[in-house]
Amino acid sequence: MSQFCFVIPNYNHHLVIEQTIADLQRFKLPVILVDDGSNQQTKQVLQQVNDRFDNVTLHIRAENGGKGAAVHDGLVLAAKLGYSHAVQVDADGQHNLADIDRLIALAKQHPTALISGQPIYDDSISKGRLYGRYFTHIWVHIETLSLKIKDSMCGFRVYPLAAYDKLTKRVSLGKRMDYDIEVMVRLYWQGCDVQFLPTKVIYPENGVSHFNVWKDNLLISKMHTKLFFGMLLRVPKLLWRKVKG
Ligand SMILES: Nc1nc2c(ncn2[C@@H]2O[C@H](COP(=O)(O)OP(=O)(O)OP(=O)(O)O)[C@@H](O)[C@H]2O)c(=O)[nH]1
Ligand SMILES: [Mg+2]
């Protein structure tokens, strides 16, 4: 039997987090909220959320470690608490929570797969972010020798925790914005199926993005170089997977 929980990483996102947790109550699932070394204002809001909702476990990281480090902590804690799947939702109100039912249904249909949102953007996304994503799509197709991965940057996902545990016992993943991409490619390399659900992603007007165009894009480029060489080592395995369909 699959047991689901939510994992929400939070770094200085205080505006909509309480409303997000309130909206998640209808699922009657536990929520692991990870404070990734946030500022005092956010800490106060997170404590308030923790006091208000019984189903919230607040995990506090002493220092900021990056999105990847925060999600990793949340997933490890989720596995330790006995859950089989963790639904990862960002804390900035960009994800369409109405699609969670469909995300979970897909995970139940494919219990060993990584399930991911495939973003449908409106005009609120900046052109820089949009084009950066195409760059990553192309790299990921090369790294997996496949067109199977339709998006690797969306943080709206369901992680199969057994497969994640197996992966992270072997390799340590990028700790910042490189994480979402790397974990998806490496799970794919490990043999994990990846399923996508088209979902609207918005950039709210008062939204705060911590994505640093120069620093994070450089980090992501370095990671693609590493994954490219990783792909070369796996060419026979990846081609065999293609042949098997
Ligand atoms: N950027 C960033 N996000 C973190 C960090 N730690 C946790 N997070 C959380 O990770 C999620 C994604 O962060 P965002 O800054 O929105 O990054 P993103 O959604 O990939 O980028 P945008 O598309 O520009 O919004 C949010 O829930 C953050 O609060 C961190 O150190 N840096
Ligand atoms: Mg965001």
- Residue among 90, 181, 203, 206 whose CB has most ligand 1 atoms within 8 A, to mutate: 90
Domains contained in the chain, number: 1
197 - beta bridge partners?
117
- Residue among 13, 20, 64, 67 whose CB has most ligand 1 atoms within 8 A, to mutate: 67
Query: Ligand nearest 89 Cα, by number?
Result: 1
Q: Are 86 and 155 in contact, with CB atoms under 8 Å apart?
A: no
Site of tokens 């109405």: 98
* The pair of three-digit structure tokens given for residue 217, joined into one six-digit string: 């894009």
Q: Residue 41 class from Cβ within 10 Å (0-12 exposed, 13-18 middle, 19+ buried)?
A: exposed
Task: Tell how far the Cα of 221 is from the centroid of ligand 1, in angstroms.
Answer: 18
Task: Tell how far the Cα of 90 is from the centroid of ligand 1, in angstroms.
Answer: 7
Residue 69 alpha carbon, nearest atom of ligand 1: 6
Identify the band that residue 210 occupies on the pLDDT scale cut at 50, 70 and 90. Answer: confident
Task: Tell how far the Cα of 92 is from the centroid of ligand 2, in angstroms.
Answer: 6
Residue-number span of the structural domain to which 113 is assigned: 4-244
List, chain by chain if needed, residues with CB within 6 Å of any ligand 1 atom.
Answer: 9-11, 13, 36, 64, 66-67, 70, 90-92, 94, 129, 155, 177, 209-211
Q: Is the model's pLDDT at 129 over the cut of 90?
A: no
Distant-in-sequence, close-in-space partners of 119: CB < 8 Å, separation ≥ 6: 151, 154, 199, 200, 201
Identify the band that residue 56 occupies on the pLDDT scale cut at 50, 70 and 90. Answer: very high
pLDDT digits (tens, 9 = 90+) for 211-220: 787 888 899 9
Q: The domain spanning residue 124 has which CATH number? A: 3.90.550.10
How large is the average pLDDT for residues 137-155? Answer: 96
Identify the band that residue 225 occupies on the pLDDT scale cut at 50, 70 and 90. Answer: very high
Q: Are 108 and 188 in contact, with CB atoms under 8 Å apart?
A: no
Q: Are 113 and 193 in contact, with CB atoms under 8 Å apart?
A: yes
